[in-house]
Amino acid sequence: MPTAPKLARLDAPRTSLEPQRLVRVWRRVLERRLRTRLKARVQVHLHDNTHTMITFRRARWGWRLRLHHMFLAAPDEVLGSLARYVRWADPDASMNLDRFIERNRIFIRKVTPAELRRRLRIVPSGSHHDLRDIFAQLNQRYFGGQITATITYGPAPRARAPRKSIKMGSYSAETKVIRIHPALDQKQVPRFFVEWIVFHEMLHHVHRARRGEDGRRCVHTPEFLAQERTFHDFKRARRWEDENLDFLLRSRVG
């Protein structure tokens, strides 16, 4: 059986047929290595993304995985962590994968934030709430106009079954883009609630995630949570969310 490749070999020109053939061989080796750990058929698609390194889904016949090409050279303990993460969402396995990705960050393509933003469809104006106006007012009121992020509604996710959870906003430190779930662009959703979600994501621009003493990644630091409570309608927004979460989960947008 061929051994796992060295990462240095992955930098060979893509126009060469020989490196392409070798990558196909290494991918098949990787599929076999994962198959023994997942106890099922595995189909691997390699990519060169700059942000999401691992995605997967269960199929009737086994597992489909999309992996960054750095995993071609992953040692056995990393593949063991990958299998535990895929099968059981093991938190320790997730931490091991984070460390592996961080050690091999040199193999992630360097793309400027400006270039990444150009690839996104920026749509800040909705039918009921203008995110650009909300962002500008919050930026001036709480941050002295210093937040330089871009804001947009995210694409409407495809949901065949009723949602069990909803991610109302997200912030990418890589692109400096805030995305707001389009379910919030409804007349039944009050402006103060949308403001709170936008404010929450703006705080991610100020308070970056860090590792805690236990080694786990902390996204909402104590400083983050303390500043979030300074929002002018904090209690009312929390109460509205508690009373209307089912409505947001049932919302069909797009």
Q: Which residue ranges make up each domain of the chain?
A: 7-107, 113-250
Q: Which residue bears the tokens 């797009």? A: 254
Q: In what order do the strands lie in the sheet with 41-47?
A: 41-47, 62-68, 54-59
Q: What is the mean pLDDT of residues 208-220?
A: 76
Joined together, the tokens standing for residue 237 give 């927004």
Residue 48: predicted pLDDT: 86
Angle formed by the axes of helices 131-143 and 191-206, to 10°? 60
The kind and range of the H/E element at 98 are helix 91-103
Q: How confident is the model at residue 74 (pLDDT cuts 50, 70, 90)?
A: very high
Mean pLDDT of 13-24: 65
Q: Cα–Cα distance between 69 and 145 in angstroms, integer?
A: 40
Q: Which fold has domain 113-250?
A: Zincin-like (3.30.2010)
